[in-house]
Chains A and B, each alone.
Chain A
C-alpha cells in the first residue's frame, strides 16, 4: 500500500497552500509533517483524507487514483485536532459509529460490533468508560476515543492532525510513546501533522519539513537535525547561529577569521551565509589565534546542558553555545570572562548572484582545519 503524492498544488484565493509537493509513503511508515502554521501541512493531510482536493497533481495508492475517491470511501482514519467527538453519543457509540453506518451488506452484526468496540477500548486503555459521554472525559481520554473511533473501521492509513496539541505536557509525552507502540503493534501506516519539532523528531520514522506550501526536506529525524538541507530547516529545527561569510580562493572568511577548509571546492568567490549549531562551537578561556575573541555574557545550566551566550565583536553579533554541564564546570566558565570560540564545522549556503538568496543547491558542509598546536591546547 504505497501512497504516491506527485506535484500537488492547492491555492486558496491568493494563498498558495501547497506548491508542487511530492512525497511517497511506504506501508508501515510513521511520517510527521512538520512546519509552522500556514506551511500547508494540514492542507496536505486533508487532501490525503479526501476532505480537500488539489488544483493539480496526482495522488495514488498502488496505482489507484485516490482523487477519484471521496472521503467517505477512501478508508482512511482521521483524528482531528480537537477530536470532533460526537458529544451526544457515549464512548461506545462514538467508536461504533463507523461500523454502524456501513451498508447492511458490509455491516457486522451487533454482537460483532460490540466485540470489536470492546477490544478497541481495551487497546486504548478505556475499558469501563464505554457508557460515558465525551463531556465526562479528560483531554487525553477524548484523544484516545477519537483514535479508537478512527481505528474501528480498520483504515489503510491513519491520519492525525496535531494529535497532542491540546494536551498538557505530561500527558503529551506519555501518549506519544503509547501512540508509537500502537503504530507498531497494529501495523499501521501513520501520517501526523505537528508544529512541535520535538514531537516529530521523537515519534516519526521520517520527518517532512514544510514551509510556505513547499517541502523543505524529507529525512529521518537524525538527518533532519544533523544535516539540515536548507536555511529554513536550520532555523526551524533546533537552535543555530547564523553568520554572514565570504568565500575567497577556497577559504572561508567570517569576521576577522579566515578558515582553511575542506569542502569549498567548486564554489566561486562571493558572499554566503553559514549556520552552526550551538553544540558545534568549541570554547576555551585560552587566547588563541585561530578563533574569534569573545566575551561571555551569560551562562545558565538547564539540566545537564550549559547554555552560553557570547558577545563576538569581530562578527558584531552574539553566538549561542551549548556544552555539557560538567565541561562548563571543569572550565569554570563565568560571565564577563574572555573566551576564544571556534566552529567545529559549519554549513555554508553561497548567496545566489541574481537574487541574493541563499542557494540551497550549492550547500556545503565546511570543516575548518586548525593547526595541530592549536588543537593540542584544547585538551
Chain B
C-alpha cells in the first residue's frame, strides 16, 4: 500500500529531470566541452581581447540598467492597470504584451527608424545633442523595449490580490500615503518585482535581433556580446564563440542566483 497522498511522484520527477537534462543541460554541457577544447591560455587570449571586454561591459551594463528602468516603469504601469479604471484600460492591458509578440527584428527596425537622426523622435533629440540610434543608448532603448512586459505581468497579479484592508489599516494607524507605500505595499510587492527584474534582465542579456539593428555595432563602442559570438562563428572560431558563450552563461547564472537569494530574503515572512 502506498502512503503517499499525491500519486505519480516517481514518474513526474523522472520526466522533469529527463526533460531538463535534454533541453537545458545537454546544450550547456556541449558549450562547456567545446570551450574547454582551446585550453586555458586560448580562453584567456580570446576573452581578454579589448573588443570582447568592451562588449561584455556594454551587454551586462545596459541589461542591468534596462531591468532597473523596467522595474520602476513596470511597477507604475501595473499600478495604473490594477488600481484605476479608465476607458481603454483593457486595450492598454493587451498592448503591454506586444513586445513579446513582435518579431525582434521588426522591433529593432522600427526603433531604429524612430530614433535615427531623421526619425520621428530622433529629429527632436538630435538638436539637443542626444544621439540614440547607433550608440550604446540605442542598445539600452531596445533592451528596455523587449523587457518591458515582464515586470508588469509579474507584479500585476500580486497587486490585484492585495486587500485594501491593509492600506486602510495603515491609514488609521496614522501612516501617510508614501509611508503606506514604502512600508506596507512595496515589501509585499518586492518578491514579484524581483522576479520581473530577473526575467527582464535575462531577456536583455540574451537579446540579439532588436539590438543589432539599432546598435550600429561599432566595435569597442556599441557592439553587444551576442554579436561578438556571431562574429567568431563567421570566422569559424567555434571554440572562441563557445568561450564567450560560457562567460555569458556564468555571469548570467551568478546574477540570477544573486537575485534569487535576494528574493528569498524578501519573502522571509512567508516561510514557516
Contact = CB atoms under 8 A, between A and B. Distances in A.
A84 B269 contact: no
A72 B272 contact: no
A98 to B, nearest CB: 4
Interface string B162-203: 010110111111111001000110011000000000000000
A315 to B, nearest CB: 49
Interface in A44-93: 49-51, 70-74, 76-78, 80, 82, 84-90
B175 A84 contact: no
Contacts of B170: 86, 97, 101
B5 interface: no
Interface in A197-249: none
Contact of B173 (A70, A82, A134, A149): A149
Contacts of A187: none
A72 B175 contact: yes
Contact of A101 (B174, B187, B270): B174
Contacts of A77: 172
A6 interface: no
Contact of A97 (B175, B188, B269, B272): B175
Interface string A137-164: 0000000000001101100000000000
Given A82-B163, A84-B166, A72 B187 contact: no
Contacts, number: 73
Contacts of A90: 269
A229 B30 CA distance: 86
Contacts of B184: 86
B171 A51 contact: yes
B175 A82 contact: no
Contact of B168 (A73, A84, A88, A150): A84
Contacts of B174: 72-73, 98, 101-102, 153
Which has the most chain A C-beta neighbours within 10 Å: B168, B171, B172, B176? B172
A101 B172 contact: no
A136 B163 CA distance: 19
B183 A97 contact: yes
Contact of A88 (B169, B173, B176, B188): B188
Given A101-B183, A135-B272, A76 B188 contact: no
A68 to B, nearest CB: 16
Nearest to A90: B269
Nearest to B270: A135
Contacts of B175: 72, 97, 101
Given A87-B188, A87-B269, A88-B188, A97 B165 contact: no
Contacts of A134: 269
A133 B270 CA distance: 8
Interface in A16-59: 49-51
A45 to B, nearest CB: 11
- Closest CB pairs A-B (n = 5): A84-B165, A98-B173, A84-B169, A101-B175, A88-B269
Given A82-B165, A86-B170, 17 more contacts: A51-B172, A70-B171, A72-B172, A72-B175, A82-B163, A84-B169, A85-B166, A85-B169, A87-B188, A89-B269, A97-B175, A101-B170, A101-B183, A133-B269, A135-B272, A136-B272, A153-B174
Interface of B: 163, 165-166, 168-176, 179, 183-184, 187-188, 269-270, 272
10 contacts: A71-B168, A72-B174, A72-B175, A78-B168, A78-B169, A82-B165, A84-B168, A86-B169, A97-B175, A150-B173
